Amino acid sequence: MKNTFILFAVFAAFSTAQGQSCCTKNTDQSFPQLAMTDGFAAAHLEPLPFTDEKPNGKNIILNIKGQNPGKAYVIMSEAPTKNWIFVYHEWWGLNDYIRKEADKLQTTLGNVNVIAIDLFDGKVADDAKAAQELSSNLNDARARSIIKSALNYVGNDMRIVSLGWCFGGGWSLQSALLEGQSAVGCVMYYGVPENDVNKLKTLKCDILGIFATNDDFIDKDMVSKFQTNLETAGVKNTIQFYEANHAFANPSNPKHDVEATRSAYELVLTYLKEKFAN
């Protein structure tokens, strides 16, 4: 694989196990490693067919100098606002479940624009094998170019909160790092952390991390190390665990944990309202 999405160095190999336990307790795993294990794939049920017949937003093209254009889905506030949510999809890609979730966020908050960024260049997976290939073979430089093109699209002096689930949770954090002074918040749903303290020191916002107690992939040891590194870097953070499994709140999950998803969503909405209060 070329230019795979590697957030940090890997210090130990890991082995697959039965059920959801796919790996050894290594707190320095990258998403491509997790994605290619049978246990991780088994923990992500294939999404049911769904087409959003009445989307509130529109698909747009993002211009990237010297590269093919990027893609995104955007919903604009009725009244002009500098508030933006950057939404990052699961390993299935930017499907209509994500578009619907983006619509929901915009409708609920009102005074915000929402852009769901497509890191897979229009490709969407319907099964785990395809999702493994898309996420593990992601070109890191290309993904960052797409995010930067989204930043160019929204313009300067904006107030941005990034948000994503699983694969997108990790990219929500990377997005916040790229946003610079425009970043006012970051929501990570059980995403692979960034553990480079020097990089974390450049963050201009705090982090809300949503994690699951029964997650054998982004487990408590990994989250604990992440929180320690955030504190070392001087980054304010709120880490919330829910009694649930990995992917419990994924929009595309046909058997998501209803109660944990609702509770986490309420926490996220409170966080977003605080960030966009002024």
Question: Tens of pLDDT along 142-180?
Answer: 999 999 999 999 999 999 999 999 999 999 999 999 999
Q: Are 73 and 151 spatial neighbours (Cβ–Cβ below 8 Å)?
A: no
User: What is the band of 8 on the pLDDT scale with cuts at 50, 70, 90?
Assistant: very low
pTM of this structure:
0.89
Closest listed residue to residue 70, CA positions, set 178, 149, 188, 157:
149
Task: Give per-residue pLDDT as tens, 43-102.
Answer: 888 999 999 999 999 999 999 999 999 999 999 999 999 999 999 999 999 999 999 999
User: What is the signed CA dihedral for 135, 155, 276, 261, rounded to 10 degrees?
Assistant: -20
What are the backbone angles phi and psi of residue 159, rounded to the nearest 5°?
Answer: -115, 110
pLDDT tens digits for 177-213?
A: 999 999 999 999 999 999 999 999 999 999 999 999 9
User: pLDDT confidence of 28, banded at 50, 70, 90?
Assistant: low
Strand partners, 237: 207
Q: Is the pLDDT of residue 138 over 70?
A: yes
The terminus-to-terminus CA distance of the chain in angstroms comes to 45
CATH of domain 31-275: 3.40.50.1820
Q: How many CB atoms lie within 10 A of CB 43?
A: 22
Task: Output the CA torsion 27→128→163→212 (10° steps).
Answer: -50
Q: Tell me the two tokens of residue 160.
A: 């941005």
